[in-house]
A and B are shown apart, each in its own frame.
Chain A
Amino acid sequence: MPRINSPEELEKVRQEILSRRDPSKPCISICAGAGCLASGAGEVIAAFKAEIEKQGLTTEVNTKGTGCPGFCERGPVLVIYPEEICYLQVKPEDVPEIVSQTIKEKKVVDRLLYADPTTGEKATHESDIPFYKNQERNILGSNIKIDPKSIEDYLAIDGYSALSKVLFLMTSEQVLEEVKKSNLRGRGGGGFPAGRKWEGSRNAPDPIKYVIVNADEGDPGAFMDRALLEGNPHSILEGLIIGAYTIGSHEGYVYVRQEYPLAVENVNIAIRQAEEYGFLGRNILGSGFDFTVKVHQGAGAFVCGESTALMTALEGRAGEPRPKYVRSNIVGLWGKPTVLNNVETWANVPLIINKGADWFTQFGTEGSKGTKIFSLVGKITNTGLVEVSMGITLKDIIYKIGGGIPGGKRFKAVQTGGPSGGCIPEKLLDLKVGYDELTKAGSMMGSGGMIVMDEDTCMVDVARYFLNFLIDESCGKCTPCREGMRQMLKILNNIAEGKGREGDIELLEELAEVAVDASLCALGKSAPNPLLSTLRYFRDEYEAHIKEKRCPALSCKELIAYHIDPDKCQACMICLKQCPAEAVIGGKNRIHVIDQEKCTKCGTCFEVCPPRFGAVQKISGEPVPAPIPEDARTIVRKSKEK
């Protein structure tokens, strides 16, 4: 491919690509994102290739592995174009039928369609499925249409047209004004207005400037940046190049964690292709603007998601944050003005340029414009990535899109903002999603993790979990974070183990206050959030642990016990065989009893006991009933009495 040297040539290349594509030719798009691959998408893709060849359809059908469309719960997901038929949970065995029925006969395979869990009504198209119907998929929507390893696919959906527009039809001032007008705020957590950040760097006198994509997505339970980088890497590069042009930078970095090998691979391929086509390198599209990008892999440190720590890591040192007396957009990487934005922020930029700030601001609330991608996970029926307009209520996300809580359980809380965020209780479910709204509720937007918790989740344990995580990830530079968190965890461990004392809650609050006030970076400052928000909304759970030595969610190992109800046990031997600790005593026709000494409280017996018996019970805050006497354990079955 020769380099493209002008906007006219770009359009010619685009038209040429489109002319080679027949929109009526069947195309099978299979999600090849991490979630679907883990549920077997690789085998499905291979099966399609083999079957299509076997049936002699190679020239008549296209097959491609695409980016993640978000419905991980029902993976592997595929969409067949041009009819846009959406099949879920496809297995290699289903492939011959799909090819012979849907591709050849144009018939829909009913059993692979989405079925409404209550009405049983089938949905043929992606857009008919409630999970998708209630979303606003400005960014994620492209993922299923393109093979992330193909720049032609990106060009076919108008890719790099925003870059061409910026380089030839707009001055850098105009680009900045448009981004400022859009009020795009950082999608990585802090929510700082991107336009203002860019302006600071642009106005800084230093001639050498840098732009960085922050793809060090470390929040446990969040994977939207991964889906974007894996699924549509060119859109992020395009945003980055536009940003570089605006502030006058000629060198950029993509900092991506090495735990995301597919993202690293796809972004490297995308950079190579963009260089080949002339979207990167010297004299981009013949405009005279030069810009190069390098990929830097993170080596596994959560704190490196913090901007100054990330820059220190890029310099080849241990990623410790530094004080921000001067912001990094003025003094950043190697002391130069540096604009660092999150993956999703960059992905929004080409859209804002192409469609305009007015289009962008029609989505969202007063303070938070546009859409936001959340990863909706935990105790939720439809796990996956959801992109919604800011301002949607939590209730709509969890119930309309997420399909509510599985297993007839009761909703307890939703945790947003990752380890720096907080838990929002049921009474606040009408809260509108936005930066300021979430902060007011004691949580934060964060990068967009949304973890749903049900009645079985213990809030003391959740606070303990996040603190444990942060202690592991704290760089250890400043004392309130390093030592304060350790002390908080000690107290929380005591509470969860039934050794809590009066006054513990107050002490926790005091320690949290110091960590918030005196820590250097956002990690320490926000570390107490999960603790404080659970204390604010679920204080009674803490008190039950301390005063009654009871875990209301029946979750904390040290405070619960498993017990087999002798009246319900049918001596079916299932729990006895499955118990990994061999703690179930019993036998054929002998009522089973748990040896409390041996029991490791792994919960296997509770899970495997057939629901029609429901003999295994969890108890907390009360003594375990004494085992029934040996001679009363024999079950005499009626059929055998004769």
Chain B
Amino acid sequence: MENERIDQIIDKHQGEASSLIQVLLEIQCENRWLPKEALERVSEKLQVPLTRIQHIATFYKAFSLVPKGRHEIHICVGTACHVRGATRVLDNVQDLLGIKPGETDLDLKFSLETVNCVGCCALGPVMDVDGKIYGNMAPSKTADVIKNYE
């Protein structure tokens, strides 16, 4: 990510140190992960120590310090999905992709994450790929969904 773009984001938030989380969220949203160089730039511009930025970047779930795959799979493990069998769906996706939640496969195709409720409980168990919701999932259906993504 270009330093110029980072500066723009920081300026948008009036360069206040208290807007650190909002700045990081915007960088994460655009770049999909937080490279070290970007964090250093933020640290310099906002006059916030890098240790504090690291603390925040590792405390909150929205941030990733490693590159993400082209497609992000979120398996909802909210309570409603859980009682409807989300664990079995998750196990199955893990087996299919060979990665665990929080991981990205070697060719950067898929990243797998769990999410604690996407608010579509009527459709549970729910699987979300790049923001598209697949409802009423079952272990037997996951392969059909995943094969649609290149």
Number of interface residues of B (CB under 8 A): 47
Query: When the two chains form their complex, are residues A221 and B80 in contact, meaning their CB atoms are under 8 A apart?
Result: yes
**A600: B residues at CB distance < 8 A:** 91-92, 95
Given contacts A313-B21, A377-B80, A457-B83, contact A223 B60 (CB under 8 A): no
A297 touches B120 (CB 8 A): no
Find chain A residues with CB under 8 A from B18 CB.
314-316
State the CA gap A384–B121 with chains docked (Å). 8
Of the stretches B2-10, B103-111, B132-140, the one at the interface is B132-140
Partner of B59 from the list A319, A465, A603 (CB cut-off 8 Å) is A319
User: Is residue B55 contacting chain A, with contact meaning CB distance below 8 A?
Assistant: yes
Contact, CB under 8 Å: B118 / A34: yes
- Assembled-state Cα–Cα distance A260/B120 (Å): 12
Instruction: Let me know if B60 and A604 touch, CB within 8 A.
Output: no
User: Are A221 and B123 touching (Cβ within 8 A)?
Assistant: no
**Assuming A457-B83, A580-B95, is B59 touching A259 (CB within 8 A)?**
no
A375 proximal to B (CB < 8 A)? yes
Looking at A219, A221, A302, A600, the one whose CB has the most chain B CB atoms below 10 A away is A221
Tell me, yes or no, whether B82 is within 8 Å of chain A by CB.
Answer: yes
Within 8 A of B (CB), among A294-352: 296-302, 313-319
Summed over the interface, the residue pairs from A and B with CB atoms below 8 Å come to a total of 142
What is the chain A residue whose CB lies nearest that of B85?
A: A603
Q: Which residue of B lies closest to A601 (CB)?
A: B88
Measured between beta carbons, the chain B residues less than 8 angstroms from A580 are 92, 95-96, 139-140, 143
The contact string, 1 if C-beta is below 8 Å from chain A, for chain B 9-37, is: 00000001111111011000000000000
Most central of A35, A72, A300, A316 by chain B CB within 10 Å: A316
Name A592-618 residues within 8 Å CB distance of B: 600, 602-604, 607-608
Q: Cβ of B122: which chain A residues have Cβ within 8 Å of it?
A: 35, 39, 72-73, 75, 377, 383-384
CB < 8 Å neighbour of A602 from B17, B63, B88: B88
CB neighbours of A73 from chain B (8 A): 122
**A482 touches B (CB below 8 Å):** no
Fill in one digit per residue for B46-64: 1 if any A CB lies within 8 Å of its CB, else 0. 0000001001100111110
**Distance in angstroms between the alpha carbons of A259 and B131 in the assembled complex:** 11
A220 near B117: Cβ-Cβ < 8 Å = yes
Chain A's closest residue to B124 (CB) is A377
Most buried by B among A375, A415, A602: A602
Query: B79 touching A221 by the CB < 8 A rule?
Result: yes
Pick the contact of B123 from A35, A316, A603 — CB < 8 Å? A35
User: What residues of chain A lie closer than 8 Å to B138, measured between beta carbons?
Assistant: 604, 607
Judged by a CB distance under 8 angstroms, whether A453 is at the interface is yes
Of the candidates A296, A299, A462, the one having the most CB atoms from chain B within 10 angstroms of its own CB is A299
Once bound together, how far apart are the Cα atoms of A218 and B79, in whole Å?
A: 12
For A317, the chain B residues whose CB sits under 8 A away are: 20, 52, 56
Chain A residue numbers with a CB within 8 Å of B121 are: 35, 72, 221, 223, 375, 377-378, 383
**Is the pair B59, A602 in contact by a Cβ cutoff of 8 Å?**
no
**CB contact under 8 A between A465 and B21, given known A299-B62, A384-B122, A607-B140:** no
Instruction: Say whether, besides A38-B120, A220-B78, A258 and B25 are in contact (CB < 8 Å).
Output: yes
Cβ of B68 under 8 Å from chain A: no
CA distance A319 to B16 in the complex (A): 18
Asked if residues B135 and A38 are in contact (CB atoms below 8 Å), the reply is yes
Q: Does A550 contact B (CB under 8 A)?
A: no
- Asked if A451 meets B120 with Cβ closer than 8 Å, knowing A299-B61, A604-B139, the reply is no
When the two chains form their complex, are residues B59 and A475 in contact, meaning their CB atoms are under 8 A apart? yes
Q: Does A248 contact B (CB under 8 A)?
A: no
Question: B98: CB under 8 A from chain A?
Answer: no
B97 is an interface residue with CB less than 8 A from chain A: no
A171 within 8 A of B: no
Whether A226 pairs with B119 at a CB distance below 8 angstroms is yes
A458 to chain B minimum Cβ distance, whole angstroms, is: 10
Q: Which residues of B contact A240 (CB under 8 A)?
A: none
**A223 touching B117, Cβ below 8 Å:** yes
List A256-281 residues whose CB lies under 8 Å from chain B. 258-260
Docked pose: A449 CA to B140 CA in angstroms = 29
Determine the chain A residues whose CB is within 8 A of the CB of B21 once the complex forms. 296-297, 299, 313, 316
User: Nearest 6 CB-CB pairs, A to B?
Assistant: A300-B61, A220-B78, A299-B60, A223-B119, A377-B80, A377-B121
A-B contact pairs, 18 of them (CB 8 A): A38-B123, A73-B122, A218-B116, A220-B79, A220-B82, A222-B117, A316-B21, A318-B59, A378-B79, A378-B80, A378-B121, A379-B83, A451-B80, A451-B83, A580-B140, A600-B92, A603-B85, A603-B139
